[in-house]
């Protein structure tokens, strides 16, 4: 089955063609980072308008790259939610319109299920069951995954997601957007001995996260440095290092607890923050001590992309699932509501 995948949940237009027998045929992504950078975050109206501009030319480009004619497409998978309502509507409307014209079925994919399954696109994919750390700009969750659609939420952030905290910390430090890459780059120059930031909610049992207090601690440290006239480039790097180290260690501690609690020996990390090299290195050390394994997608599939949507949609289509015609985005959509495959 050849599936066209469409991802428009936020600020990136992702398109892909996935073949159930041949694998990923082609994919492309247009990022809106430059559009939103001057605002320090995503402006929903601008995101929706740019999806409208980019989506059809990108579909034509990906089909051409895959050497696939429109008549060869047998189904369309699109991101139904969660995400920005306007952005989701663009993808859903295009998917349903093309499906009507091409006379093929559609399937609305859960954005976070797409992220969770992105490592399945690698040459050596993980096997069920496993613990998944879904960590992005909008979500920080630990999920026990027994099979596709068989998810148990173990813990989640009670306030800011980790990726959101990176963005806000970067803004406090006067850095660019998105925050994850710029903080990671600056942290490489930081002095590990200068600051130690708190590891929130690690001194109590449970698997929930909280990054709001860490964000406040970062702000207070930055303000203090400015008041003392010590806020130079090295201080920026030292604060960036301390912030990243606190986030990474907090996530690692919770992942270790989740593996021990579930008695599973496989960890999957997915979402934009999973591209962070410091996080990958720390989690590799954690699972090594437990005799477990860790899997993650290549960097281009950590952030939003059409390939993960095409893959996830294909699996559900092969299981006999499909949607009726109609534009029904779900900006809020708990992953535990998904049906098992």
pLDDT along the chain (341 residues), means of 10: 98 98 98 91 96 98 98 98 97 98 98 96 97 93 97 96 94 92 96 97 95 96 97 97 98 98 97 95 97 96 97 98 93 93 93
H or E element in which residue 31 lies: strand 23-31
Whether residues 191 and 254 share a domain: the answer is: yes
Judge whether 77 lies within some domain: yes
Is the pTM here over 0.85, yes or no? yes
Whole-number pLDDT of residue 164? 93
Give SS3 for 6: strand
Quick one: 316 exposed, middle or buried, by C-beta within 10 A (0-12, 13-18, 19+)?
Answer: buried
163 and 221 belong to one structural domain: yes
- Alpha helix (H) ranges present in 33-178? 33-37, 44-66, 85-102, 111-117, 162-172
C-alpha 45/C-alpha 39 separation (Å) is 13
d(CA 277, CA 121): 20
User: Computed over its alpha carbons, how large is the radius of gyration of the chain?
Assistant: 20
Same domain, residue pair 247 and 286:
yes
Please indicate, yes or no, if residue 16 is contained in any of the structural domains: yes
Q: Can you tell me whether residue 119 is helix, strand or coil? A: helix
Q: Which H or E run includes 25?
A: strand 23-31
Binding residues for substrate, by number, are: 134-138, 167, 180, 276
What integer pLDDT is reported at residue 95 of this predicted model? Answer: 98
Q: Give the residue ranges of the annotated binding site for Fe cation.
A: 111, 115, 304
177 and 77, same domain (yes or no): no
Task: Provide the 10 A C-beta neighbour count for residue 198.
Answer: 14
Q: Is the same domain home to 261 and 140?
A: yes
**Can you give the pLDDT at residue 38?**
86
The predicted structure's pLDDT at residue 137: 84
Evaluate whether 313 touches 148 at the Cβ level (below 8 Å). no
Write out the residue range of the structural domain in which residue 205 sits: 129-296
- Return the SS3 of 76: strand
Do residue 106 and residue 40 come from a single domain?
A: yes
Output the known binding site: 111, 115, 134-138, 167, 180, 276, 304
Please give the pLDDT value at position 273: 95
How do 2-7 and 75-81 pair as beta strands?
A: parallel
Q: Which residues pair with 140 in a beta bridge?
A: 135
The label of the residue with tokens 């130079």 reads 232
In a domain, 123, yes or no: no
Do 257 and 156 reside in the same domain of the chain?
yes
Distance CA 109, CA 130 (A): 21
Are 260 and 290 in contact by the 8 Å Cβ rule? The answer is yes
| pLDDT reported for residue 266 | 98
Asked if 134 contacts 270 with a C-beta cutoff of 8 angstroms, the reply is yes
- What CATH number corresponds to the domain at position 56? 3.30.420.40
Tokens 């989740």 appear where? 258
Residue 142 domain-assigned (yes or no): yes
pLDDT for 176 equals 87
Same domain, 230 and 329: no
| Same-domain pairing of 233 and 249 | yes
| Cβ atoms of residues 312 and 338 within 8 Å | no
What pLDDT is stored for residue 40 in this prediction? Answer: 85
| Same structural domain, 240 and 150 | yes
In the chain, how many domains are there?
Answer: 2
């Amino acid at each position: 089955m050849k599936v066209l995948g469409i991802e428009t949940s936020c600020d990136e237009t992702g398109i892909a063609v996935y073949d159930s027998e041949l694998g990923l045929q082609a994919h492309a992504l247009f990022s809106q980072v430059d559009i939103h950078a001057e605002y320090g975050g995503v402006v929903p109206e601008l995101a929706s308008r740019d999806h409208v501009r980019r989506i059809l030319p990108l579909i034509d480009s990906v089909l051409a790259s895959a050497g696939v004619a429109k008549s060869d497409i047998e189904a369309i998978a699109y991101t139904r939610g969660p995400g920005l309502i306007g952005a989701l509507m663009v993808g859903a409307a295009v998917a349903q319109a093309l499906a009507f014209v091409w006379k093929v079925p559609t399937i609305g994919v859960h954005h976070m299920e797409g992220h969770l399954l992105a490592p399945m696109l690698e040459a050596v994919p993980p096997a069920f069951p496993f613990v998944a750390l879904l960590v992005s700009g909008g979500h920080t969750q630990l999920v026990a995954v027994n099979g596709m659609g068989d998810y148990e939420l173990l813990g989640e952030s009670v306030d800011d997601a980790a990726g959101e905290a990176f963005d806000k910390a970067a803004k406090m430090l006067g850095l660019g957007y998105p925050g994850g890459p710029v903080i990671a780059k600056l942290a490489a120059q930081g002095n590990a001995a200068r600051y130690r930031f708190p590891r929130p909610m690690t001194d109590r049992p449970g698997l929930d996260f909280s990054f709001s207090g860490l964000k406040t601690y970062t702000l207070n440290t930055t303000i203090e440095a400015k008041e003392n006239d010590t806020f130079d480039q090295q201080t920026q790097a030292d604060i960036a290092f301390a912030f990243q180290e606190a986030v990474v260690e907090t996530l690692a501690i919770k992942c270790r607890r989740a593996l021990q609690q579930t008695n599973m020996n496989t960890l999957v990390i997915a979402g934009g923050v999973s591209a962070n090299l410091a996080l990958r290195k720390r989690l590799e050390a954690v699972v090594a001590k437990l005799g477990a394994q860790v899997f993650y997608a290549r960097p281009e599939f950590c952030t939003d992309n059409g390939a993960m949507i095409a893959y996830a949609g294909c699996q559900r289509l092969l299981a006999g699932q499909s949607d009726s015609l109609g534009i029904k985005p779900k900006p809020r959509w708990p992953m535990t509501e998904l049906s098992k495959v």
